[in-house]
Amino acid sequence: MPHYKAPLENIHFVLHDVLKAEQLSHLPGYDQATPDMMTQIFEEGAKMCEEVLFPLNQSGDKQGCVLENGVVRTPQGFKEAYELYRTGGWTSLSSDPAYGGMGMPHLMNFVFMEMICSANMAFGMYPGLSEGAYRALHLHGSDELKQRFLPKLVSGEWTGTMCLTEPHCGTDLGLIRTKASVGENGSWKISGTKIFISAGEHDLAENIIHLVLARLPDAPEGVKGISLFVVPKFLVNDDGSLGARNGVTCGSIEHKMGIKASATCVMNFDDAQGWLVGEAHKGLKAMFTMMNAARLGVGMQGLGIAEVAYQNALIYAKDRLQMRALDGTKAPDKPADPIIVHPDVRRMLLTSKAFCEGGRALSYWVGMHLDISEKHPDPQTRQDADDLVALMTPIVKAYLTDMGFDVANHAIQVYGGHGYIWEWGVEQYARDARIAMIYEGTNGIQALDLVGRKMGQSYGRLLRQFFHPVSDFINVEQSNPAMMEFILPLGKSFAKLQQITGLIAQKGMKDPNEAGAASSDYLRLFALVAMGYMWALMAKAALEKKETTQGELQEFYDSKLHTARFFFERMLPETESRFRMIMAGAAPLMNLKAEGF
């Protein structure tokens, strides 16, 4: 049977020793977000994930969802678990107190999201989509729409979705055909079909609030003619009670490779009553509020899956006996040594460990800046933080999900043949992790976003929010002898990133294919440098803490330093190969005619 224990000690280290997250308690509205309060909330969240959600993960995968008479039945235990989740206040953790939320920092939601995704990624889809719908309505909805829908979304009594994809279009939203026609009393009639709608229909909540992209009758072609509408499953009466069933139905559910307990639906809108969110023809801007939040959330899915896969691989490697160590017997009282003695098993485990701990620091760092971008009293500080979040969003989404899948595969390999068998649990992690590289914009799209939009935006303004602090850190720490083993490789890889950024910008202006051909390798190189920065920060914190601790805590910090060395010596050198791939240019990719494939 698989195992999961929330990594609270590692979480505490990143939040308080590395990022100094207590600074958030000084921002307006976050005065309750003290270290003690964070610890208390995360301990309770860990219990929810370990004791309620995780035990349903395998059974939910086995049972899946069933469509019966237009209603999706979630797996056994999910409805009861969702009620515990909702009444425990977890749906309202970082929501606005004006609508019943707890008003805690987004960073705390990032932490809890990681634990949920480790425990039961499929379950996490239901409240995760609601969070995105809440953010879009909160930022772009009218006061009337906010009052009507947000309190129930925050309480979890209602859930939300985002309805973008249609049978003929995915990423290219300019091709959508769903139409909006004039309805009654300021409403609109929405007609069309959307596919791949996560949590589009289920039995967990009494109402589902769909955010739907559609075209008004006078809409111009392309993305400039898209509007956003809120379309509830059940209409809402003036007193807040539920009214008649709206013209929204689930036509079918998909039978998928993974996240089988999450209902992925074909949704049909037949003159469904909806209300415009924000301005006409400006729906894509409003929807990107939801999508950007979702992309960061998907990054946390990659991290969460990696963490639970690593935990199980580690337990198995310490227990499974196979052969003797290459340098001599390690367990003479046993018929063979545990496989953790073998170099290749250690390579997979250390790669997984280094990613999980570095990815956690990177994602939490971005989450903290999301809070700064919304709450800091200084406008320039808010803008700088917002620029960093925008820059790092495609990196967090793509790199964390790529590596989440890789770590799940490492876990299967550590288990050997048992990893390929359903009963042991780890093959599910690979199946569940695979979708995260695809939805909310494939990882190739994230790379194009980074190179085509973020890199050159405002003459490199976004890039400066990463380049400047990394450069300043290297300049300060290069005079610290204890940090030299980390600073030297970070400085070299950072110089490569700066050099290749300028080259891509120069070549991409002459030929867009040059930027496109470089994009995926550039994102990977950028992510590795960002991880190097995080590991250097963690090494510095570990060195400082090690001087004032002893016993198990000192062993904890020693482990951090060993893992940092592994990252810098065995993972960061990948930047060299990525640099060379980018330097090869577009010709190796683009010169072969289609007929030659």
DSSP class of 17: I
| Other C-beta atoms lying within 10 Å of the C-beta of residue 462 | 23
Tokens of 570: 């065995």
Distance, in Å, from the CA atom of 341 to the CA atom of 343, rounded to the nearest integer, reads 7
Do 226 and 283 form a contact (C-beta atoms < 8 A)?
yes
Q: Count how many residues are written for the chain.
A: 597
Q: Alpha-carbon distance 211 to 192, whole Å? A: 13
Give the separation between CA 382 and CA 372, rounded to whole angstroms.
Answer: 6
Residue 483, both tokens:
């940090």
Quote the CA–CA distance of 403 and 348 in Å, as a whole number.
12
Annotated active-site residue in 114, 307, 440, 514: 440
Q: State which amino acid sits at residue 583.
A: M
The residues, any chain, with a CB within 8 Å of residue 127's CB and separated by 6 or more, are 82, 85, 90, 91, 116, 156, 159
Burial class (CB in 10 A: 0-12, 13-18, 19+), 283: buried
80 catalytic residue (yes or no): no
What would the two tokens of residue 190 be?
Answer: 């929405």
What 3-state DSSP class applies to 81?
Answer: helix
Q: Where are the beta strands (DSSP E) in 278-348?
A: none
SS (H, E, C) 564-589: HHHHHHHHCCHHHHHHHHHHCCCHHH
Here the contacts of 478-485 (C-beta below 8 Å, separation 24 or greater) are: 482/543, 483/536, 483/539, 483/540, 483/543, 485/565, 485/568
Q: How far is CA 398 from CA 14, 136, 262, 439, 521, in A?
A: 21, 22, 21, 11, 12
In one-letter notation, the amino acid at residue 105 is P
Q: Cα angle at 563 between 322 and 113, to 5 degrees? A: 95
Q: Are 405 and 430 in contact (CB under 8 A)?
A: yes
Candidates 256, 255, 414; CA nearest to 322 is 414
Amino acid at 504: I
Catalytic positions: 440
